Amino acid sequence: MDAGVKKEDKSPDITLLLVTLILVTVGTAMIYSSSSIIALERFKDGQFFLKKQILFVFIGLVSMVLMTKIPYTQLKKFAYPGVIISFVLLALLLIPHVGLKRGGATRWLNMGFFSFQVTEMVKIAMVIFLAHLLTRKAHQLKKFTRGILIPLSVTAVIILLVLLEPDFGTAVIIATIMLLMMGLAGSRIKHLLILAAAFIPVGIWLIWHKGYRLARLTAFLDPWKDADNTGFQIIQSLLSFGSGGAFGVGIGDGMQKLFYLPEPHTDFILSIIAEESGFIGVTIVIVMFMLFVLRGFMISLRAPDLFGTLLAAGLTMVIALESFINIAGVMGIIPLKGLALPFLSYGGTSFIMSMTAVGILLNISTQKT
C-alpha cells in the first residue's frame, strides 16, 4: 500500500452505490419486460433471460463487494499481467472456432460451457495498466519519447487487435480514455492535440473503407432513405420514444419488443424504457448516469494519490462513454453502435465488469491521506 494511504478511513460513496443499485434494479425489471416474448418464442421459457441476468447480478455484486475489500493500490500488481492477458485473449479471438462471431464481429471467446466478451475485460485492464504506467512516468510525461511513447505504443497494439474483431466503438473508447488519463497525469496539451488530430483521419478512413460503418452513418443522416434495411433499427427506436410520450404506455405493455426492435433487451433497452415509462423514465435513467459520472470524477479528484486519481477517472470514463454512446445512438443523436448500456442491458461480461469497476471506485472513495 502506498505511503500516506490508510485503509478504509472513510465510508464508501453512498450516492454512487445507491445510483448503481437503482440502475441494476431498473435494468433487471426491464430485461424481463423486454425479453419475455422473445425468450418464450426462442426457448419456450419467458423467464429465460431474466434467470440468467439474476445470476449475472449475483456474480456482479460479489465482484463489487470483493473489490471494495481489496485496497486499490494492490491492483498495481495486475497492471502488466492484465495487459499481457489482454494481448493473448484478443489474439485468440482471431483463431477460428475459438473466437465466436456474432453480428458480424468476433468479440466472444468460446469457453465451452459459456462465452466471454474479451473487450469488456480489456477496457478495465487497460485503465489499470495506464494508471500504473502513467503514475510511474509522471515526471517524464512532458517529453514525448520518454513519457508518452511507451503507453501510446502498447495502447495502439491493443486498439489494432480490437479493430481486427472488428470493434470500432471499443477502439474509440480506449483511445479516448488514454488521452484523458495522459492529460490528467500531466502530459503536454500540445502532444495530446497532435495525437487527437492524428486519430481523426484514421477514424474517417476506417469508416469510409468499411461498408457497414458507412451504412450506419448514412442511416443516421437519413434513416428513412432505406427504412427497411439500414435505417430500420433507428426508425423502430425512434418510434419507441415517440409512442411512450410523457409517462409511457405502462411497464410490460410496449409493442416494439414484439419482434420490431432487434434484441430489445440488449442494445435497445432504453428504447423499451422510453416506450413503457415515457419521458419521465428516460429522464430518470439519464439523471442516474449523470450522478454516477459526477460522483466518479469526485472520487477521482479526492483520491489520495495519482494512481487513484487516474484509476478512478479511467473507470468512470468507461461507464460514461459507454452510456453516452448507447443513449445518444438509440435517440438518433449519433450513429448507432453496438454497445450495451451499463447496468441496464442484458449480458454477463459487460455487467460483471461494470460492477467490478464500481467496486474499485467505492474502494478508492474510502481512502484518504
pLDDT tens column, 158-184: 999 999 988 999 999 999 999 999 999
- pLDDT computed for residue 7 by the predictor: 47
Say if pTM beats, i.e. exceeds, 0.85: yes
Average pLDDT, the chain: 91
Q: What is the DSSP-derived secondary structure letter of residue 96? A: B
For 64, the 3-state DSSP assignment is helix
The three-point CA angle 193-198-204 to 5° equals 125
- pLDDT computed for residue 369 by the predictor: 60
Residue-level length of the chain = 369
Contact 87/319 with Cβ under 8 angstroms?
no
Task: pLDDT band for 111, please (50, 70, 90 cuts).
Answer: confident
Contact 8/73 with Cβ under 8 angstroms?
no
Residue 3 lies in a domain: no
Sequence-distant (≥ 6) Cβ neighbours of residue 111 within 8 angstroms: none
Residue of higher predicted confidence among 204 and 306:
306
pLDDT tens digit sequence for 219-256: 888 888 888 888 899 999 999 999 999 999 999 999 99
Q: For the chain, what percent of residues have pLDDT higher than 90?
A: 72
- pLDDT computed for residue 213 by the predictor: 78
Residue 7 lies in a domain: no
The full 3-state SS of 277-310, as one line of letters, equals: HHHHHHHHHHHHHHHHHHHHHHHHHHCCCHHHHH
Sequence-distant (≥ 6) Cβ neighbours of residue 201 within 8 angstroms: none
Q: Give the ranges where 93-148 is alpha helix by DSSP (H).
A: 118-136
Is the pLDDT score of 8 beyond 80? no
The full 3-state SS of 6-32, as one line of letters, equals: CCCCCCCCHHHHHHHHHHHHHHHHHHH
Task: pLDDT band for 98, please (50, 70, 90 cuts).
Answer: confident
For the chain, how many structural domains are there in total?
Answer: 1
Contact 352/276 with Cβ under 8 angstroms?
no
Residue 189 lies in a domain: yes
Residue of higher predicted confidence among 188 and 259:
188
- Determine the number of helices (DSSP H) and then strands (DSSP E) in the chain: 12, 3
Can you tell me which residue has the cell 434467470? 51
- pLDDT computed for residue 9 by the predictor: 63
Residue 4 lies in a domain: no
- pLDDT computed for residue 82 by the predictor: 96
Is the pLDDT score of 6 beyond 70? no
Domain membership of residue 121 as a residue range: 14-365
Residue 113 lies in a domain: yes
Residue type, 144: F
CA distance 24 to 346: 10
Residue 8 lies in a domain: no
pLDDT tens digit sequence for 75-84: 999 999 999 9
Q: Which H helix or E strand runs over 99?
A: strand 99-102
